[in-house]
Amino acid sequence: MNILTNISTLYRVPVDGAHEDVDAVSDAAVAWEGDTIRYAGPVAELPSDYADAQRFDAGGGCVVPGLIDCHTHLCFGGWRGDEFAARLEGASYQDIQASGGGINSTVRATRNTDIDALVAKAASALSDMAALGVTTVEAKSGYGLDRDNELKQLEVYRRLQSSQALEIVPTFLGAHLVPVEYRERRDDYLALLCEELIPEVAQRELARFCDVFIEENAFTLDEGRRILETAKSCGLGLKIHADQLSSGGGAGLAAELGAVSAEHLEYAAEGDIRAMADAGTVAVSLPIASLYLREPFLPARKWIDHGARVAVATDFNPGSAPSYHLHLAMTLAAVHQRMSPSEVLRGVTSHAARAIGLHATHGSLMPGYRADLAVIDAPDINHWLYHFRPNACAMTLKSGDWVERR
């Protein structure tokens, strides 16, 4: 048994509570055995039979469930600082993409980078994320766009799962863009996805989810439906990059197909917001992408008023969101999406867990949950979000083991 004490405020975040209910306890302690939480509550009520447990000191900080970054494009070759500079001069994200840059340029770089180099690059990002208190990371393919290179990205995630501490939840995003070599025959690419790649990825358990980018210049609503229905029939969970740059009906499709989540959603129509709330599909907000693309931030109040669960993630990728700093996304969500600190905390814990199908085991500190937690050097979550700094996280526990202790 292990015990963490000297906690100013502990946030238990019960999975089915209301948005504002993060179940804060002051003067708290947490106990865990192996990879499982056994006790989380007032230090005064710690069971006495824990007397010979190993003890750790939280230094008076607050403790939250291990953070979950539920939307990243973790594995990619190269970077796109030149496009960032071009956008500052006035070029648009969609124009850059249409002229062969954007996602296409990262596809070229990813195809040209060998698997060992991709593993090393992603591992370095994961180690920084762990230091920030992140314990679980959803990670998409989508920069290979052919059989070998899509599988190469998923293989990177498989290797990372066994070579570093954080948990990776892989998503197949072969439908990120129609690759240039298929531009004149997109039906052939759809056939490759639906008849070969999705069944193979599912059968080899290389991914848990299938995602589609539904947008002008990417995939149409009908194509998205076909791809996701195929994925569903193969046993994969569903996600959609929906209504990011224009209103395309992706959010409504996510609700209709029973997707676990839809992401971005800045331009989602009112009726689709209601449909997602009713279906229990998590709305994953990605404020770092809004920041970099100067797009509107998700109107989170509207979503929450409709009863939707709003998660917050980084969208880490080399184009629209070149940062894996989840704390930055959280502070942006508070300031620009008008979410309360409690709602933001849910957005990176219980709601994020739900967006990757793990809410029965992750994203909460109730007994029986995974022993994943972060010790934050702040008296409470208000102070944490308000005082943005390089790293407010002092300690990170993943599956019962310390991965970070400063």
Question: In the structure encoding, which two tokens stand for residue 52, read together?
Answer: 């010979």
Please identify, using beta-carbon distances, which residue of 326 and 375 lies nearer to Fe ion: 326
Measured from the CB atom, the residue of 29 and 156 that comes closer to ligand NIG is: 156
Among 189, 213, 297, 369, binds ligand NIG (CB under 6 A): 213
CA separation for the pair 97, 115 (Å, rounded) = 25
Nearest residue to the partner ligand NIG, using Cβ: 319
Residue nearest to Fe ion (CB): 315
Closer residue to Fe ion in complex, CB, 152/264? 264
Q: Residue 327's binding partner, choosing from ligand NIG, Fe ion, none, with beta-carbon cut-off 5 to 8 A by kind? A: none
Minimum CB distance to Fe ion smaller for 38 or for 140: 140
337 binds ligand NIG (CB under 6 A): no
The contact mask relative to ligand NIG for 29-68 (x = CB under 6 A, - = no) is ----------------------------------------
- Which of Fe ion, ligand NIG, none binds 106 (CB below 5-8 Å, type-dependent)? ligand NIG
Which residues contact Fe ion by CB under 5 A? 315
Closest CA to 20 of 352, 384, 385, 341: 341
CB 384 within 8 A of CB 376: yes
Residue with smaller CB distance to ligand NIG, 355 or 376: 355
Are 150 and 144 in contact by the 8 Å Cβ rule? The answer is yes
How many chain residues touch ligand NIG (CB under 6 A)? 14
What SS3 string covers 367-400? CCCECCEEEECCCCHHHHHHCCCCCCEEEEEECC
The minimum distance between CB 318 and Fe ion, in angstroms, equals 11
Q: Which CB sits closer to ligand NIG, 108 or 159?
A: 108
Binding partner of residue 61 among ligand NIG, Fe ion, none, CB cut-off 5 to 8 Å per kind: none
Q: Does position 102 bind ligand NIG by CB under 6 A?
A: yes
Stretch that binds ligand NIG, among 102-110, 183-191, 277-285, 367-375 (CB under 6 A): 102-110
Shortest distance in whole angstroms from residue 168 CB to ligand NIG: 18
Tokens in use for 168? 């990776």
- Does 289 interact with ligand NIG (rule: CB under 6 A)? yes
Binding mask 133-172 for ligand NIG (x = CB under 6 A): ----------------------------------------
Q: What is the DSSP letter of 246?
A: S
The stretch among 8-16, 49-57, 99-107, 340-348 that binds ligand NIG (CB under 6 A) is 99-107
Of these, 158, 239, 241, 398, which contacts ligand NIG (CB under 6 A)? 241
- Taking CB under 6 A as the binding criterion, the range among 55-63, 100-108, 197-205, 342-350 that sits at the site for ligand NIG is 100-108
Q: How near is the Cβ of 247 to ligand NIG at its closest, in Å?
A: 15
Shortest CA distance to 295 belongs to which of 305, 285, 304, 303?
A: 285
Nearest Cα to Cα of residue 352 among 277, 263, 265: 263
Tokens of 330: 């959280």
Q: Which is nearer to ligand NIG, 241 or 370 (CB)?
A: 241
Task: State how far the alpha carbon of 1 is from the alpha carbons of 16, 37, 63, 125, 135, in Å.
Answer: 27, 10, 18, 31, 21
What is the closest distance, in whole angstroms, from the C-beta atom of residue 219 to ligand NIG in the complex? 11
Specify the residue, 32 or 213, whose C-beta has the smaller distance to ligand NIG: 213
In the complex, the residues that contact ligand NIG under the rule CB under 6 A are: 73, 102-103, 106, 213, 241, 244, 289, 315, 317-321
